[in-house]
Amino acid sequence: MVKQTIQIFARVKPTVRKQQQGIYSVDEDEKLTPSLEIILPRDLADGFVNNKRESYRFKFQRIFDQDAKQETIFENIAKPVAESVLAGYNGTIFAYGQTGSGKTFTITGGAERYSDRGIIPRTLSYIFEQLQKDSSKIYTTRISYLEIYNECGYDLLDPRHEASSLEDLPKVTVLEDPDQNIHLKNLSLHQATTEEEALNLLFLGDTNRMIAETPMNQASTRSHCIFTIHLSSKEPGSATVRHAKLHLVDLAGSERVAKTGVGGQLLTEAKYINLSLHYLEQVIIALSEKHRSHIPYRNSMMTSVLRDSLGGNCMTTMIATLSLEKRNIDESISTCRFAQRVALIKNEAVLNEEIDPRLMIIRLQKEIQELKDELAIVTGEQRTEELTEAEFLQLEKRITSFLEDQDPESKLEVGADMRKIHHCFHYLKKLLNDKKIHGTSIASSEIKDQNSQEPLKEEEYKKLRDTLQQRDNEINILVNMLKKEKKKAQDALHFSSMDRSELRCSQSSPFPPGNPEGPRMLPPSAPTQAPDSSTSQYRSSLLHGKTGMREEMSLGRQEAFEIFKRDHADSVTIEDNKQILKRRFSEAKALGESINEARSKIGRLKEEITQRHVQQVALGISENTPVPLTPDPLEEKLRSQLEEEKRRYKAMFTHLKALKVEIEHLQLLMDKAKVKLQKEFEAWWAEEATSLQVNSPAVNSLNHMKPFPQTPESQHERSQLLSNKSSGDWKVPDQGPQVVSCSDVYARKILPSPGPLLHSQEQSSPSTPLEDRIPERPVSSVPLTGDSRTDSDILAFIKARQSILQRTGFQ
Ligand code: ADP
Ligand code: MG
């Protein structure tokens, strides 16, 4: 058992403005425990805290100032926890702080650079690296990803995400067994056999979370995310299994609303926006106070899920993320105060070991067999599963003579064989029952009679046994068939995933598909068990589903999307990452080639050494001289060359492995960025459409089936709309032929045909000459539909066109 208080660390986010650094100071020199001093600026102190303290000092295990790298955070905070998880203890790391203070950056990582990857990807990488090194145990790694929003639990890895929205999925609920262990219903566990698979699950969950988020549901600030690595290990042949869980928790923003905000009450009266953080604080207060018997874990889902991490069987670490700018000073002080309380909580981590019943059965079966063998040696008789026919007959004869024997001292001797003893009892019971049924005493003559009937019963008995044997055989065959079917299905899954990855290779990999040396030389990823629910396949289909929306877009919308994309800030990142990815691919390709070269060189050197050896021996034989004791210098040289080449090969191989992880990570970052962009475009598009519906007089008139009321503005808009279409074959008699400008051509590309809108007009005012209003071509080519969605789409197109033209400087 390891007793330990919760470790607390502070991380200060880089400030945008340098001059604000005077707000705090980090004192690393204090004996062993460094401290963070937050200095209240004069104006704030005057305004709010009024003659109160002007600086606050908080102690932490360590304080990571603005320049701390992600690597340092991992090495100092997460690695020790990951190590204890590998040793079989539960671990938790949670980030606490206001929105924007760097919780997600610390736990998951930044969305742009590979070097910004946070604790989760680095921990996964570290754990899988250690598992690969340790061949003394068999490990199983599974992943779950839970989001808690508004006291409801959602499974971020639920494969049904693609089809339904978060709210429609079954909620994750907390169940408690009689031993007060917590179980989470509807939370899926996904086996990950490699770092790559685990990383895919992380990105899949993050993407699902992002997609579910709307401006109304600010999931990223209001929800808690718990990424859990479940690790089981056992030594080969042992029935003891160790289970350890590592929770990596990104909490909701800890910002509070000030209730009063005057008279120095700001720091005490403020209330959390998030209710479960309030309950978390209650639990922390209860735990940090001595002599409290009741800890209110059950008040919220989050405290129930993290029950073991808080005052239980777990090694827990908290990272207080701080954004130390003037306007955040009160929130930063709250965060530090919370951390000081957390630091008082004592946990007791124990090794979670249990006996696997299946393994126990196997062990016992083995023991039985060994005992049987020993018995056979002692008795000199090979013991079969059942008695033979002859043995049965012999026993029954003995029973009969025992019963017939009038001597009260007579004994029934069958030897120290439980099978025989049992049979005797059965037989005696049977005789007794028969006697009861017939209501007559068992005379020896009757026993003899029965004995004479025995052959018949024997026959029946034999028949039944044969049937039983037959059934047994049938069952065995069926079980084997089932196993084969299952294996086939798994193989198919495996192959299909291989196919996919090969496809991906053929599309984007630096290793040509025909070159078997390429991907196969990468670290062995062949899973010992088929990956659960084919996660990577699911990820790619999901991402494709989300990014593939464009395929269904109209041309105009696609065009708008292209512009939106080009102007979006993220496109720089995507482009940068694309470039880096390209470079990494060519690096990987070059490395792959060098590895192949090194391999063939190693082969050649080995060949040369063998040849040289053979030559030396042959020379020795032909000259009849013994093989010289001193080593052959040429052979020595070849050997040292070989060693050198092998070292080079190994170094390149390790580098290629790292490159592979980086490439995968970058691809996932880009996938995620694409989904985000698409989502933002959809939101912008919808917003444009709504604002148009609210503001545009055209809409009001549309509702009355009059798309172009004769107001000056709408007339202007209409003429503008029509003028964009007028290149001679679109008639606008009112205005006469228009000159096609650059913007016309451009606008035509993105402007949809205004068919339904004009069609409704046609119906509403049949007396108006058609040419007056309708361009000829669109009317004939557009289906006559009154779908309101199409109408609003068209309005959105018009608005979008205007906004795009403004953005692109055409208007
Ligand atoms: P939170 O999850 O606490 O709301 P984020 O992690 O999303 O905050 O951080 C807000 C912004 O600040 C993000 O754009 C993030 O990239 C950036 N950021 C946070 N911490 C750091 C850091 N240590 N170094 C660089 N950028 C950071
Ligand atoms: Mg966040």
In three-state form (DSSP H/G/I as H, E/B as E, the rest C), the secondary structure along 228-270 is EEEEEEECCCCCEEEEEEEEEEECCCCCEECCCCCCCCHHHHC
Q: Say how many Å lie between the CA of residue 674 and the centre of ligand 1.
A: 20
> What spacing in Å lies between the alpha carbon of 198 and ligand 2's midpoint?
21
Sort strands 62-64 and 315-322 into parallel, antiparallel or unpaired.
unpaired
User: Are residues 329 and 39 in contact, defined by beta-carbon separation less than 8 angstroms?
Assistant: no
| Contact (CB, 8 A) for 714 and 708 | yes
Q: How confident is the model at residue 23 (pLDDT cuts 50, 70, 90)?
A: confident
Among 27-36, 169-178, 250-259, 736-745, name the most confident range: 169-178
CB atoms within 10 A of CB 407: 7
Q: How many angstroms does the Cα of residue 104 sit away from the middle of ligand 1?
A: 7
CA of 703 to the centre of ligand 1 (A): 47
Residue with tokens 């779908």: 787
Tokens of 472: 């047994």
Name the band, by pLDDT with cuts 50, 70 and 90, for residue 200: very high
Q: Mean pLDDT in the chain? A: 74
At a CB cut-off of 8 Å and minimum separation 6, what does 400 contact? 447, 451
Question: Does any ligand 1 atom lie closer than 6 A to the CB of residue 102?
Answer: yes
Q: What is the pLDDT of residue 714?
A: 40
Residue numbering of the annotated binding site for ATP: 97-104
pLDDT in tens, 44-75: 555 554 555 688 999 999 999 999 999 999 99
> Is 97 a residue whose pLDDT tops 70?
yes
Q: The tokens of 139 are what?
A: 């490990």
- 104 CB near ligand 1 (under 6 Å): yes
Mean pLDDT of 182-211: 93
Q: How far is the CA of 73 from the centre of ligand 1 (A)?
A: 14
Beta-carbon contacts of 219 under 8 Å, excluding residues fewer than 6 positions away, are 147, 149, 209, 212, 213
647-650-652-655 Cα dihedral, nearest 10 degrees: -130
Asked whether the predicted pLDDT for residue 671 surpasses 80, the reply is yes
Candidate from 140-154, 277-291, 326-340, 470-484 with smallest mean pLDDT: 470-484
Ion ligand 2: protein residues whose beta carbon lies under 5 Å? 103-104, 220
Read off φ and ψ for residue 277, nearest 5 degrees.
-70, -30
* Tens digit of each residue's pLDDT (9 = 90 or more) over 351-402: 888 887 777 788 788 888 888 888 877 777 766 778 888 888 888 888 988 8
For residue 358, the CA-to-ligand 2 centroid distance in Å is: 43
pLDDT confidence bin for 783, thresholds 50/70/90:
very low
Across 16-25, 54-63, 121-130, 662-671, least confident range:
16-25
- Ligand 2 centroid distance, CA of 214 (Å): 15
Q: Using CA atoms, how far apart are residues 559 and 27, in angstroms rounded to an integer? A: 56
Ligand 1 contact via 13 beta carbon (within 6 Å): yes
Phi, then psi, of 183 in degrees rounded to 5? -125, 140
Candidates 97, 85, 91; CA nearest to 9 is 97
Ligand in closest contact with the CA of 115: 1
Is residue 43 over pLDDT 80?
no
Residues in the chain: 811
> Nearest-CA neighbor of 415 among 393, 398, 390, 432?
398
Q: What is the pLDDT of residue 792?
A: 54
The number of C-alpha atoms within 13 Å of 577 and in the hemisphere containing its C-beta is 25
Q: Give the per-residue pLDDT at 138.
A: 93
Q: Identify which has the larger pLDDT, 387 or 445.
A: 387
Among protein residues, the one with the nearest Cα to ligand 1's atom 11 is 100
Nearest protein CA to atom 5 of ligand 1, as residue: 102
**Are 696 and 711 a contacting pair, CB within 8 Å?**
no
Residue with the nearest Cα to atom 22 of ligand 1? 13
Per-residue confidence (pLDDT) for residue 614, from 0 to 100: 84
Among residues 115, 114, 312, 305, which one has the least CA distance to residue 228? 305
Pocket of ligand 1 contains residue 490 by CB under 6 Å: no
Angle subtended by helix axes 418-438 and 389-404, to nearest 10: 60
Q: Please state, as a whole number, how many other Cβ atoms lie within 10 Å of the Cβ of residue 172.
A: 22
Q: Which range (281-285, 606-610, 616-620, 795-799) has the least confidence? A: 795-799
Q: Given this model, what pLDDT does residue 285 score? A: 87
Q: How far is the C-alpha of 321 from the C-alpha of 606, rounded, in Å? A: 57
CB of 807 closer than 8 Å to CB of 563: yes
Whole-number Å distance between alpha carbons of 207 and 156: 9
Q: Is the pLDDT of residue 681 over 60?
A: yes
Confidence at 482, pLDDT banded by 50, 70, 90 = low
Mutate to test the pocket of ligand 1, among 16, 73, 105 (most ligand atoms within 8 A of CB): 105
Q: How far apart are the first and last CA of the chain?
A: 72
CB of 113 sitting under 6 A from ligand 1: no
Among 168-182, 738-752, 773-787, top mean pLDDT goes to 168-182
pLDDT for the residue numbered 89: 92
pLDDT at 421: 87
Give the pLDDT band (50/70/90) at residue 801.
Answer: low
Q: Which class would CATH give 2-41+52-355?
A: alpha beta
Token couple for 145: 């990803």
pLDDT at position 12: 96
Task: State pTM to two decimals.
Answer: 0.62
Per-residue confidence (pLDDT) for residue 359, from 0 to 100: 76
Q: Are 260 and 269 in contact (CB under 8 A)?
A: yes
Residue 101 Cβ inside 6 Å of ligand 1? The answer reads: yes
Q: Are strands 240-250 and 91-96 parallel, antiparallel or unpaired?
A: parallel
Cα separations in angstroms, 97 against 105, 256, 320, 331, 470: 12, 11, 6, 8, 69
723 lines ligand 1 (CB under 6 A): no
- Predicted confidence (pLDDT) per residue in 688-732, tens digit: 777 766 665 544 444 444 333 344 444 444 334 334 433 333 333
- Nearest residue to 758 via CA among 692, 799, 698: 698
118 lines ligand 1 (CB under 6 A): no
> How many percent of the chain have pLDDT more than 70?
66
For ligand 1, pick from 9, 12, 13, 224 the residue to mutate: most ligand atoms within 8 Å of CB: 13
- State how far the alpha carbon of 332 is from the alpha carbons of 69, 266, 386, 663, 765, in Å: 21, 13, 77, 37, 66
**What is the mean pLDDT of the segment spanning 567-584?**
86
Ligand nearest to the CA of 220: 2
> For position 84, what pLDDT does the model report?
92
Pairwise pLDDT comparison (720 vs 109), residue with the higher score: 109
**Alpha carbon distance 430, 82 (integer Å):** 65
784 vs 805: CA distance, rounded Å: 29
At residue 362, the pLDDT reads 82
Q: Is the CB of 105 under 6 A from ligand 1?
A: yes
Question: Which residues have a Cβ under 8 Å from the Cβ of 36 and sit 6 or more positions away?
Answer: 10, 24, 25, 26, 27, 57, 58, 59, 60, 63, 336
